[in-house]
Structure 1
Amino acid sequence: MKFRTLTLGTLAACMLAGLASPAVAAPAAEQETASPILIGHRGAAGVAPENTLAAVKAGSQSGADFVEIDIQLSSDGVPFIFHDETAARTTNVADVFPDRVNDPITSFTWNELQQLDAGSYFSADFVGEKIPHFDAVADALTGETGVFIEIKSPAKSPGVEQVVAEALATDPEWSALEKAGKIEVLGFDATSNKTFAELAPEVPLQQLTGTVPSAEILADYASYADSFGTSYRTLDAAGAARVKDAGLGLGVYTVNSTQAADASLELGVERITGDFPQQVDRHLDGKKVFPSNNGIVVSGAVNDVPGNDLQPETGEHVILANEGNRTIDVSGYVLRDAANNILRVGEGFKLTPGAELRVFSGPGTNSAEAFYLGGDTAVLNNGGDSIGLWDSKGRLLDTFAN
Structure 2
Amino acid sequence: MHARAVAASTTALLGTTAFLLPLSPARAADGTATAPVVVAHRGASGYAPENTLAAVDKAAALGTAWVENDVQRTKDGELVVVHDDSLQRTTDVEEVFPDRAPWKVKDFTAAEIARLDAGGWFDPAYAGARVPTLEQFVHRVDQHRQKLLLEIKNPELYPGIERDILKVLDNEGWLDRAHVQQRLIVQSFSTDSVRTVHELKPEVKTGFLGTPPVADLPVYAAFADQINPSHSSLTAAYVSAVHGFEGAHGKRLETFTWTVNDAAAARRVAGFGVDGIITNRPDVVRDAVEG
**TM-score, structure 1 normalization:** 0.61
- What is the 5 A alignment of 1:119-134? 119-134=119-134
Partners in 1 of 2:201 and 2:57 — Cα distance? 27
Q: Secondary structure at the match of 1:75?
A: coil
Is the contact made by 1:62 and 1:281 (CA closer than 8 Å) also made in structure 2? no
Tell me which residue corresponds to 2:198: 197
Partners in 2 of 1:72 and 1:38 — Cα distance? 24
**Are 1:280 and 2:271 an aligned pair?**
no
Partners in 2 of 1:31 and 1:79 — Cα distance? 38
Is the contact made by 1:250 and 1:271 (CA closer than 8 Å) also made in structure 2? yes
- Matched to 2:215, the amino acid is E
Partners in 1 of 2:241 and 2:18 — Cα distance? 19
Partners in 1 of 2:178 and 2:280 — Cα distance? 22
Tell me which residue corresponds to 1:135: 135
**CA-CA distance at 1:176 after TM superposition:** 6.7
Tell me which residue corresponds to 1:346: none
**CA-CA distance at 1:167 after TM superposition:** 2.8
Tell me which residue corresponds to 2:182: 181
RMSD of aligned C-alpha atoms? 2.2
- Matched to 1:45, the amino acid is S
Partners in 2 of 1:139 and 1:164 — Cα distance? 14
Tell me which residue corresponds to 1:80: 80
Q: Assess, with a 3 A threshold, how the Cα gap between structure 1 residues 137 and 176 changes in structure 2: closer, same or farther.
A: farther
**CA-CA distance at 1:114 after TM superposition:** 0.7
Q: Assess, with a 3 A threshold, how the Cα gap between structure 1 residues 60 and 177 changes in structure 2: closer, same or farther.
A: farther
State the identity as a percent.
32
Q: Secondary structure at the match of 2:240?
A: helix
Q: Secondary structure at the match of 2:115?
A: coil
Tell me which residue corresponds to 2:240: 241
Is the contact made by 2:93 and 2:103 (CA closer than 8 Å) also made in structure 1? no
Q: Which moved more, 1:152-161 or 1:241-250?
A: 241-250
Q: Assess, with a 3 A threshold, how the Cα gap between structure 1 residues 146 and 233 changes in structure 2: closer, same or farther.
A: same
Tell me which residue corresponds to 1:154: 155
Deviation per CA, 1:308-341: give whole Å up to 9, x if none.
Answer: xxxxxxxxxxxxxxxxxxxxxxxxxxxxxxxxxx
- What is the 5 A alignment of 1:3-402? 34-141=34-141, 142-172=143-173, 175=176, 178-179=179-180, 181-209=182-210, 212-247=211-246, 248-286=253-291
Partners in 1 of 2:181 and 2:193 — Cα distance? 24
Q: Assess, with a 3 A threshold, how the Cα gap between structure 1 residues 128 and 111 changes in structure 2: closer, same or farther.
A: same
Partners in 1 of 2:201 and 2:18 — Cα distance? 18
- When Rg is computed on C-alpha atoms for both structures, the one with the higher figure is 1
**CA-CA distance at 1:99 after TM superposition:** 1.9
Is the contact made by 2:70 and 2:83 (CA closer than 8 Å) also made in structure 1? yes
**CA-CA distance at 1:90 after TM superposition:** 0.8
Is the contact made by 2:134 and 2:168 (CA closer than 8 Å) also made in structure 1? no
Deviation per CA, 1:180-231: give whole Å up to 9, x if none.
Answer: 510000000001111111001101000001xx22122222111100011011
> Which is richer in strand?
1
Deviation per CA, 1:356-376: give whole Å up to 9, x if none.
Answer: xxxxxxxxxxxxxxxxxxxxx
- Matched to 1:215, the amino acid is V
Q: Assess, with a 3 A threshold, how the Cα gap between structure 1 residues 213 and 73 changes in structure 2: closer, same or farther.
A: same
Structure possessing the higher relative contact order (Cα contacts under 8 Å, 6 or more residues apart): 2
Tell me which residue corresponds to 1:342: none
Is the contact made by 1:93 and 1:101 (CA closer than 8 Å) also made in structure 2? no
Q: Assess, with a 3 A threshold, how the Cα gap between structure 1 residues 98 and 73 changes in structure 2: closer, same or farther.
A: same
**TM-score, structure 2 normalization:** 0.83
Q: Secondary structure at the match of 1:169?
A: helix
Q: Secondary structure at the match of 1:60?
A: helix
Q: Assess, with a 3 A threshold, how the Cα gap between structure 1 residues 55 and 177 changes in structure 2: closer, same or farther.
A: farther
> Which is richer in helix?
2
Deviation per CA, 1:106-129: give whole Å up to 9, x if none.
Answer: 211101111111101000010000
Unaligned runs of 5+ in 2: 1-10, 20-27, 247-252
Is the contact made by 1:177 and 1:183 (CA closer than 8 Å) also made in structure 2? no
Partners in 1 of 2:234 and 2:44 — Cα distance? 23
Is the contact made by 1:168 and 1:175 (CA closer than 8 Å) also made in structure 2? no
Q: Which moved more, 1:50-59 or 1:179-188?
A: 179-188
Partners in 2 of 1:71 and 1:61 — Cα distance? 23
**CA-CA distance at 1:279 after TM superposition:** 2.3
Partners in 1 of 2:101 and 2:264 — Cα distance? 38
Q: Assess, with a 3 A threshold, how the Cα gap between structure 1 residues 203 and 156 changes in structure 2: closer, same or farther.
A: same
Is the contact made by 2:72 and 2:79 (CA closer than 8 Å) also made in structure 1? yes
Q: Secondary structure at the match of 2:229?
A: strand
Q: Assess, with a 3 A threshold, how the Cα gap between structure 1 residues 31 and 170 changes in structure 2: closer, same or farther.
A: farther
Partners in 2 of 1:42 and 1:170 — Cα distance? 22
Q: Secondary structure at the match of 1:95?
A: helix
Is the contact made by 1:138 and 1:174 (CA closer than 8 Å) also made in structure 2? no
